[in-house]
Amino acid sequence: MQIKENFEIKNLTTYKIGGKVSKLYMPETLEEFTEVLRTTKDYIVLGSCSDVLFSSNGFSGSIIITTEMKRFEIKGTKVYADCGVKDPLIAQKVSEASLSGLEFLIGLPGTIGGAVYMNAGAHGQCIADVLVSCCLYDKETGEVVFKQNSEMDFSYRHSILHNGRYILLSAEFELSKKPPEEIKELMDRNLTFRKTIQPSLANPNAGSVFKNPENDSAGRLLDKAGVKSFDMPNVKVWDKHANFIINKGNATSEDVLELMVKMYQAVKNMYTIELKPEIIFIGDKTKKEEELCNILYKTKTQK
C-alpha cells in the first residue's frame, strides 16, 4: 500500500485543482482498505476524483484513494467488483462476456465506488437497476456488513452512502445476456453522445456542475439563463453545454466556486429555482470559500 505525506492532490483530480493533503493512502486490497478505515481518523474516501472540487488551501486530514483496488470477477450473469474498479474497464469486460446492464459506464471517468455512491446513470440505465448487494464498512461499529439493493435507499443521484455511515468495499451485480453486437452498438452510442455534449478531460473539468431538478434539466435552465457567456480569467462555462465549468489552466477552487455562484444566481433570478451542486467540495476552506459554499450547499460541506 502506498502512503504519502503532504501530497499535492491536484495531480489526481480531473479538475487539476487542489492543495496538499496531510496524508494519502492508496490500498490495494479490501483487507488493507478496511485496516486503514479502522485505524485512521478524519479521512475522506475518493475514487478517480472526477466529481470533486478540492480546496486549493489543501486538506489537513487524510485522503484514501481506492483506484488501486482493481479486483473483479464475472460468474455467469453475476459480476463482483471492488470499489476501485474503473467504470469504463468493467463496462468493457462485461460486454466481452455478452452481458448487458452496465453499458452506460463506458463513458464515465469514475469508479464503481463513485457509481454506487451517486447511483450513476445515463441513457435509461442506472446502477440501481442491476445492483444486487453491497459489501460495506460501517463507520459506527467498525464492522463489515452487507446490504441488499432494497436497503440502499437509491433515488436520483443518491444512495444510503450519502449519510456518511457506510463506505462501499465491493458490489455485486446481476446482468442479462444480450448479443454482443447490440451491446457494442449501445456503448458506441453512449460514447458518441458523451463526446458530443461533454468536454473531454483534456479540458480539466469535474463533470456536471449541478444536479437536474425534478422533471427538468440543469443544462437547459443554465443555457436559458445565459451562462454560456460566463468567462472569467481562469475558468469558464463550456460553450457546448452550460452545465460544465472548464479550468483554463491556473484556476483555484475559489475561482470555480465564484463561477458556480454566478451560474446558480442566474438561474435563481430567472426561474426562482435553486440548483443543487453535483460536484462535491472537499478541503480546508478559506473565509471566502466558506461564504461561497454556504450559498451553494446550504449545509456544511466536507470538512
Of 11, 40, 65, which residue constitutes the final position of a domain? 65
For residue 300, what pLDDT band results from cuts at 50, 70 and 90?
very low
Of 11, 35, 65, which residue constitutes the final position of a domain? 65
Inside any domain, residue 212? no
Instruction: Please tell me the predicted confidence (pLDDT) of residue 204.
Output: 96
Chain centroid to CA 99: 24
Instruction: Please tell me the predicted confidence (pLDDT) of residue 123.
Output: 80
pLDDT average, residue stretch 52-76: 97
Taking the CB of residue 194, how many other CB atoms lie within 10 A of it?
A: 18
Inside any domain, residue 303? no
Task: Count how many residues are written for the chain.
Answer: 303
For residue 303, what pLDDT band results from cuts at 50, 70 and 90?
very low
Helix (H) or strand (E) holding 169: strand 166-174
Inside any domain, residue 42? yes
Check pLDDT > 50 for residue 302.
no
Euclidean distance between CA atoms 60 and 215, whole angstroms? 39
Helix (H) or strand (E) holding 233: none
Provide the number of structural domains found in the chain: 3
- The answer to whether residues 7 and 55 belong to one domain is yes
- The answer to whether residues 93 and 136 belong to one domain is yes
Instruction: Please tell me the predicted confidence (pLDDT) of residue 107.
Output: 87
Q: Hey, what amino acid is at 218?
A: A
Of 147, 164, 197, which residue constitutes the final position of a domain? 197
Instruction: Please tell me the predicted confidence (pLDDT) of residue 301.
Output: 43
Which residues does 203 contact at the CB level (< 8 Å), separation at least 6?
238, 246, 247
Domain that residue 51 falls in: 2-65
By three-state DSSP, how is residue 159 classified?
Answer: coil
Instruction: Please tell me the predicted confidence (pLDDT) of residue 281.
Output: 97
- The answer to whether residues 85 and 193 belong to one domain is yes
- The answer to whether residues 143 and 52 belong to one domain is no
By three-state DSSP, how is residue 204 classified?
Answer: coil
Q: What is the CATH number of the domain that holds 41?
A: 3.30.43.10
- The answer to whether residues 134 and 84 belong to one domain is yes
Q: What is the CATH number of the domain that holds 227?
A: 3.90.78.10
Inside any domain, residue 13? yes
Q: What is the CATH number of the domain that holds 171?
A: 3.30.465.10
Inside any domain, residue 203? no
For residue 177, what pLDDT band results from cuts at 50, 70 and 90?
very high
Euclidean distance between CA atoms 259 and 265, whole angstroms? 10
Which residues does 265 contact at the CB level (< 8 Å), separation at least 6?
none
- Average per-residue pLDDT in the chain? 94
Percentage of residues in the chain with pLDDT exceeding 90?
A: 88
pLDDT average, residue stretch 36-48: 94
- The answer to whether residues 76 and 190 belong to one domain is yes
DSSP letters spanning 43-98: EEEESS--SEEE-TT-EEEEEEE-TT---EEEETTEEEEETT-BHHHHHHHHHHTT
Q: Over the stretch 78-134, which tens digit does the pLDDT of each residue have?
A: 999 999 999 999 999 999 999 999 999 998 889 999 999 999 988 889 999 999 999
Residue entry with cell 436497503: 151
Helix (H) or strand (E) holding 31: helix 30-39
- The answer to whether residues 107 and 127 belong to one domain is yes
Q: How far apart are the first and last CA of the chain?
A: 25
Euclidean distance between CA atoms 106 and 87, whole angstroms? 6
pLDDT average, residue stretch 145-170: 96
Instruction: Please tell me the predicted confidence (pLDDT) of residue 106.
Output: 94
Euclidean distance between CA atoms 209 and 211, whole angstroms? 7
Euclidean distance between CA atoms 67 and 47, whole angstroms? 6
**Distances in whole angstroms, Cα of residue 269 to Cα of each of 54, 226, 228:** 28, 12, 16
pLDDT average, residue stretch 265-289: 96
Instruction: Please tell me the predicted confidence (pLDDT) of residue 299.
Output: 56
pLDDT average, residue stretch 41-59: 94
- The answer to whether residues 78 and 183 belong to one domain is yes
- The answer to whether residues 285 and 192 belong to one domain is no
- The answer to whether residues 38 and 23 belong to one domain is yes
Catalytic residue numbers read: 157, 208, 278
Taking a C-beta distance cutoff of 8 angstroms, is the pair 138, 175 a contact? no
Inside any domain, residue 204? no
- The answer to whether residues 128 and 24 belong to one domain is no
Inside any domain, residue 302? no
For residue 7, what pLDDT band results from cuts at 50, 70 and 90?
very high
- The answer to whether residues 31 and 107 belong to one domain is no
For residue 296, what pLDDT band results from cuts at 50, 70 and 90?
very high
Q: Over the stretch 221-236, which tens digit does the pLDDT of each residue have?
A: 999 999 999 999 999 9
Check pLDDT > 80 for residue 205.
yes
Instruction: Please tell me the predicted confidence (pLDDT) of residue 67.
Output: 96
